[in-house]
């Protein structure tokens, strides 16, 4: 791996796993008051389109990273849509 | 533009502008209680690395999308780090 490839791979790794702690916190607390619904709707649709694009151009890395980040965005979006207003478990 | 390019461009557009409503909501309410600090730290470092990667490979689209999403992530991270606990303006 060249230094350039290492920088790119580390960038992809970080922006892909970034939603793990957000999903964990949202599952644990069910507090979605400060989360923007349009943001998570766009992330959901955007990662679905990235996945479609990856299948169309047969690109496995783009598919894998968007399956992970899209799955995490879907979990957060689902809780945002189903949690009752004001519902919050102790952190 | 081929249909494949349109799908990819729409995917890139959505995942880039997704943070606009989150940044707007966070600036307006200063409510960051439900936002995960590690998530926004990783998005900040990840987009900085994407920007570095884009400069190294001379890729303008990767640079532009990460300047936008990285700038929005920086705003949200800054408010997360500086807002007092429990500080919340009326929505």
What are the Cα distances from residue A47, in Å, to A23, A44, B7, B12, B16? 16, 5, 11, 9, 11
Q: Is A89 exposed, middle or buried (0-12, 13-18, 19+ CB in 10 A)?
A: exposed
Task: Give the residue among A68, A73, A12 at the shortest CA–CA distance from B14.
Answer: A73
pLDDT at residue B69, rounded to an integer: 95
Q: Which of A22, A44, A80 to mutate to test the interface with B (most CBs of B within 10 A)?
A: A22
d(CA B22, CA B52): 25
pLDDT in tens, B37-76: 999 999 999 999 999 999 999 999 999 999 999 999 999 9
Query: According to the model, what pLDDT value does residue A91 have?
Result: 57
B50–A18 CB contact, under 8 Å: no
Cα separation, A43 vs B12, whole angstroms: 10
Residue B28: its pLDDT value, please? 97
| Chain B residue whose CA is closest to A25 | B36
ipTM for this model: 0.88
pLDDT the model gives residue B39: 97
The whole model's pTM is what? 0.90
Query: Tell me: the pLDDT tens digits for A10-67?
Result: 999 999 999 999 999 999 999 999 999 999 999 999 999 999 999 999 999 999 999 9
| Tokens describing residue A45 | 């649709």
pLDDT band at B84, cuts 50/70/90?
confident
pLDDT of residue A86: 66
User: Is A7 close to B32, i.e. CB distance below 8 A?
Assistant: no
Secondary structure (3-state) at A3? helix
The answer to whether B49 contacts A22, with C-beta atoms less than 8 Å apart, is no
């Amino acid at each position: 791996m060249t230094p350039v490839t290492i920088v790119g791979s580390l960038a992809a790794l970080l922006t892909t796993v970034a939603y793990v702690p957000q999903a964990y916190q949202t599952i644990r607390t069910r507090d979605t008051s400060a989360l923007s619904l349009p943001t998570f709707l766009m992330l959901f649709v955007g990662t679905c389109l990235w996945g479609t694009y990856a299948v169309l151009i047969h690109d496995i890395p783009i598919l894998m990273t968007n399956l992970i980040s899209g799955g995490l965005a879907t979990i957060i979006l689902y809780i945002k849509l189903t949690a009752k207003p004001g519902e919050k478990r102790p952190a």
